[in-house]
A and B are shown apart, each in its own frame.
Chain A
Amino acid sequence: MTMRLTRRTFLATSAAAGSLTFLGPRSLHAATNGTLRFGLSAYPPSFDAWASSGTAAGTVKLLIHRGLMSFAPDGSLRGELAESWEVDDQGAWVFKLRDATWQDGSPVTAEDIAWNVAEASKPDSTAFLRGQLQTITKVETPDDTTVRMITEEPSAVLPGWFAHYNMPMIKKGEAVDTTMGAGPFKLDATDRGVSLTFSAFDGYYKKGLPKLAGVKATVYADENLRVAALQAGDIDLIEYVPWQAMEQIEQNDQLKLDAVDGPFMYLTFNGKRAPFDDPKVRRAVAHAIKREDIVAAAFYGRGGTLAHLPIADGSAFYNPDLADGWAYDPDKAKQLLAEAGHPDGFDCTMLSTAQYGMHQSTAEVCQAYLSMVGINVKLDLPEWSTRVQKGNQGDYDLAVMGTTAANNDPDGLSDIIDGSLPASFVRSYGLETPEISGYLKKGRTTFDEQKRKEIYAEMEKVAIETTPIVGLCWRSQGYGMKPNVTGFTNMPGQLTFYSGVTLEETALG
């Protein structure tokens, strides 16, 4: 885990230092030896391949690992280690592997894949998708390049699991936190908490990729400094562009911004306690908040309002007629409150966190609007870790949350709205949603696209009515980069944190 000084890293850093002496536009175009300098927002807490270790770790995993599947820059599902995938007539998924090699030179075999599924679904596994993988009852490897997965019930969403950046494939027998994968880059050196140095893996199965000679990822935890580093020319690409800096990056002709609306902010409720155990009160909250102000105040206008379930309007599952289901309507909110027996409002505690400005600002705006309909909100703003625990334990009345769904499929919303899942801070606490759970289950086992659309439309209708969560706004997720960075794509919608996959196509022009 110590800094290993290779000739390449030496050249890269000295080139960076050298650019300081040549100020001006020239330095912006100075070759960085084909090594992309990437400003990360956090250092991966661990290299555990299957654990949910955050988006920064996700990016790192997408550099060194590959899964069976992934998403293409346009958001469509595509094969990675799997060349093809299909459901056979018994309802089992069959993956045909392509001719790929691990970074140690050995071939990726069906046995490796089967081992991954078995290990990640073990009872003592800490894999993010452990629960889902446990529904795979058997993995068969008829030959070296074929993997057949048999599930209890046919599953329409299984390939999506294997596209998740928390489900990459590692070589059989490797430790779960191995940094040896089948991905386009090899991890050469790490300076824990500071930086990671990658070099291109010349045996990568996609011909001609990766285009970069390497990636030097440096952690800039302070968002303002991350932007400053990009502007100062210290790095080529940054993730998590803070919203207040987006305009300035757009207007700077030495820089470019690639932003998409993907992650979203919403409110969760404690369904075990009055008054939010009453759907009417929850819906009153949904109508009480003017979402434009959240977008303006918390996100500097970078995002969009969200007055229904977080299904993007570009999605095939978008329901235009439900889009304003929770529209701002204070009179309706007051009326609902009166119906629920709270004509004079009530006092409650809103959980958010002071650690992230957007969570805090969102909470402040919600507080202001809720007070207008008589709901007196006291803010509880602990640091993030405490907030997570309080959310998990239901130690709140209502809470501000922000996240992305697992993918762009409505099934990706399960974690957020399925009340049958165990308690978690990402969803309302102790709020039963039997109808929604039923629709989600039905959707998972339905293969027909049109039928799925109908199912999820019904589900959204119920959700608007029962309000298990309150959608607040989409927030823009941006990458900032120098103009000479090409081939890097901020992937659409919920997939924005999968964008690291396009680093294989990224080049420095």
Chain B
Amino acid sequence: MRKLVLPVSIIAVILALVLLAPVLPLADVRAMDIPHRFAGPSMQHWLGQDEFGRDVLTRLIFGARASLSIAIGSALAAAVIGAALGLLGGYFRGLVEILTVRAAEVILCLPPLLLALLVVTILGAGFWPLILALTILYTPNYARIVYAATLQVRGLDYVTAQRALGTHPLKIVLRTLLPNVLPPLLVQISLVIASAIVIESGLSFLGLGVVPPTPSWGLMIRAARGAMEQAPMLLVWPSLALAGTILTFNLLCDRLQSVLDPRAVPAGGAIWLRRRKPAASPPRAVLAGEDPVNRRAVAGTPPAAGPGDLLAIDGLTIALRRAGGIGSGMELVRDVAISVRPGETLAIVGESGSGKTLTSLALTGLLPDVLEVTAGSAVYVARDGRRLDLLAEDEDGHRRLRGDEISMVFQDANAALNPVQRIGEQLSEVIRAHRPAGAAEAGREAVDLLRRVGIPDPDRRARAYPHELSGGQRQRAMIAIAVANRPKLLLADEPTTALDPTIQAQILALLSDLRRDSPEMGVVFVTHNLAVVAEIADRVAVMYAGELVEEGPVAEIFARPRHPYTAALIGSVPEGGAERLVAIPGTVPPPGKMPPGCRFAPRCDHAEKVCRQASPPEFRPQPDRRTRCLRFEEVT
């Protein structure tokens, strides 16, 4: 909302000037002083005098009255009429649509100037005909926008529900649809006001606008254009007023848009698009840094950080980055340490909000711009044997690895594939990004890959667009993209969640096949589904509220969980491996409201006073197991 302060206050000043014009100590707006025509600025006339010797400043302010009231009046009138037409047409469709939206579109076929000309010549020039002409002109715009927005909202569940409940259609339109189409409508209004000011000036220029001696900016520009040689400043003032006002309305429109549709774009644009490494991000301690050392002192020594690891994450902490904003520095993932060996599949399990997806994104540098890694390291052994800290890599460093050594499979293949690119091309471009392959060669390889992931008729499918494939085929294609360059590390982020159980099983089978084909490939499998974990993983890491709470071999953890949360998770899986996690009472605390002690304590049956006092350290019940529970021995 703070963004709106500037444009709104400028507009308030303009409106105040306009409204108060009659009581301000201004010169008479009509008083001519022909002997002093074109006189320059003076004490009495700050901006000089016009072609009739009238005071320019006064006329500028009074001109704003005409120009703005016409613009705002017609923008609002058109908004009301257009919104009504769009809502009715969009909601009822059929005949009503033809009579409202389509009828309004007839106006679009008429050249705007002809329309204004006809209205003004039939009704006579002046204030009201001008408002009418502009209202007619802009109504179809609104009708179209509201119509489109209405169509979108109309299909939503809660509207259907209301309809099924027999709510009066008019009530649905006013109570439910109108609030939903309001944001695009508001933006359109400010756009139209700006455009109407320009059109008003154009019409006045053509003599179709305001009737003199009432001043308007358009009339002033028209008069000044003729006398450009004598008094160029007369052209400058109204043009400046016009441009400045429109600038303000555009600013308001932009800001309104960003307030109504808050996107977390940092100032300066998406970080990954910047050439240089962002200087804004604070220097992060890596490997031998102090901070992680301190944390490690609390957390204990990371397990298995041995030379055999493919990837060893240590002390990973992810926090909100929002310079001076609310919640800046809030930690979403804290002090996570895990490792993956070549050929091993590690499952990261947890409820939504546990930080499991963020952990995998941090490894590839794909965190959203509002988040940043504030501490930790992730040592990865590359193909060439180098040991890299993935968390310290910049965008270019990540790019060399991504899709090549480290690749990702995303949850929603429908959104993750480019809708307007053919499957084959999406595949071949990842090949060509990392290997010197010709287009034809990459194309052939793409077809082979599609075949390998079990897509029938791969030749034809390679030429298809994502929307032409079934959900399962899209996920197969996604996986094909991920394994195209035979990665060393595959990060799969809930790859089966969006799919129905049969397809889910097929995809898991495919992943197993791939692992068999590439025995050296490490897999990090992020999921909330324990049944899947049991099927695919070698080891499992359980995360809760941004922390790693337990880690160890799958069989052992399933047999004997050492953390009450893990136990609750296992207990919640119904027999037969159905989808949902059920029956853990309470919810994950939001990032800003973390309890001081163990984060699971509020929901824990075993919690004691001591659990609520300090964050529990890590314990090692067995050499290859870790847990963050003071009472791990009591958990069964």
Contact = CB atoms under 8 A, between A and B. Distances in A.
Contacts of A292: 34
Contacts of A293: 32, 34
Contacts of A354: 125, 207-208, 211-212
Contacts, number: 69
Interface string B217-240: 000001101111110000000000
Interface string B39-61: 00000000000011000000000
A87 interface: no
Given A224-B226, A360-B212, A383-B208, A368 B30 contact: yes
Interface string B374-387: 00000000000000
A425 to B, nearest CB: 16
Interface stretch (A56-64, A186-194, A374-382): A374-382
A245 B124 contact: no
Contact of B213 (A244, A367, A383): A367
Interface string A187-230: 00000000000000000000000000000000000011000000
B207 A380 contact: no
A381 B211 contact: yes
A15 interface: no
B121 A386 contact: yes
A329 B228 CA distance: 34
Contacts of B467: none
B37 interface: yes
Interface in B184-243: 207-208, 211-213, 222-223, 225-230
B227 A244 contact: yes
A144 B9 CA distance: 86
Given A360-B207, A368-B30, A386-B121, A297 B228 contact: no
Nearest to A390: B124
A355 B213 CA distance: 15
B223 A357 contact: yes
Interface string A353-396: 11101001101110110000000000111110110000000000
B62 to A, nearest CB: 15
A292 B124 CA distance: 31
A488 to B, nearest CB: 24
Contact of B207 (A224, A248, A296, A353): A353
Nearest to B35: A296
Nearest to B33: A293
B225 A381 contact: no
Nearest to A378: B211
Contacts of B207: 353-355, 360, 381, 383
A381 B230 contact: no
Contact of B125 (A245, A300, A367, A381): A381
A242 interface: yes
A393 to B, nearest CB: 14
Contacts of A355: 207
A244 B226 contact: yes
A382 B212 contact: no
Nearest to B32: A368
A297 B51 CA distance: 6
A96 to B, nearest CB: 50
A180 B32 CA distance: 52
B52 A383 contact: no
B226 A242 contact: yes
A357 B207 CA distance: 9
Interface string B441-484: 00000000000000000000000000000000000000000000
Contact of A364 (B117, B121, B208, B213): B213
Interface in A239-289: 242, 244-245, 248
Contacts of B52: 297, 361, 364-365, 368
Given A244-B227, A244-B230, A381-B125, A297 B213 contact: no
Nearest to A227: B229
A297 B225 contact: no
A296 B37 contact: yes
Contacts of A244: 226-227, 229-230
Contacts of A380: 124-125, 211
Contact of B212 (A242, A297, A379, A386): A379
Contacts of B226: 223-224, 242, 244, 357
Given A245-B229, A379-B211, A365 B223 contact: no
Interface string A334-354: 000000000000000000011
Nearest to A359: B207
Nearest to B231: A244
B55 to A, nearest CB: 14
A223 B226 CA distance: 9
Nearest to A245: B229
A382 B121 contact: yes
A296 B125 CA distance: 27
B267 to A, nearest CB: 45
A365 B32 contact: yes
Contacts of B225: 224
Interface string A290-301: 001100110010
A224 B208 contact: no
A300 B211 CA distance: 22
Interface of B: 30, 32, 34-35, 37, 51-52, 117, 120-121, 124-125, 207-208, 211-213, 222-223, 225-230
Given A365-B32, A365-B34, A381-B212, 19 more contacts: A223-B226, A244-B227, A296-B37, A297-B37, A297-B51, A297-B52, A353-B207, A354-B208, A354-B211, A357-B223, A360-B207, A360-B212, A361-B51, A367-B213, A368-B30, A368-B32, A368-B52, A381-B207, A382-B124
Interface of A: 223-224, 242, 244-245, 248, 292-293, 296-297, 300, 353-355, 357, 360-361, 363-365, 367-368, 379-383, 385-386
Query: Which A-B residue pairs are the 9 nearest by beta carbons?
Result: A354-B207, A293-B34, A368-B32, A296-B34, A355-B207, A297-B52, A297-B34, A244-B227, A381-B211
22 contacts: A224-B226, A293-B32, A293-B34, A297-B32, A297-B51, A354-B125, A354-B211, A357-B222, A357-B223, A357-B226, A360-B212, A361-B51, A364-B52, A365-B32, A365-B52, A368-B30, A368-B32, A380-B124, A381-B211, A381-B212, A382-B124, A386-B121
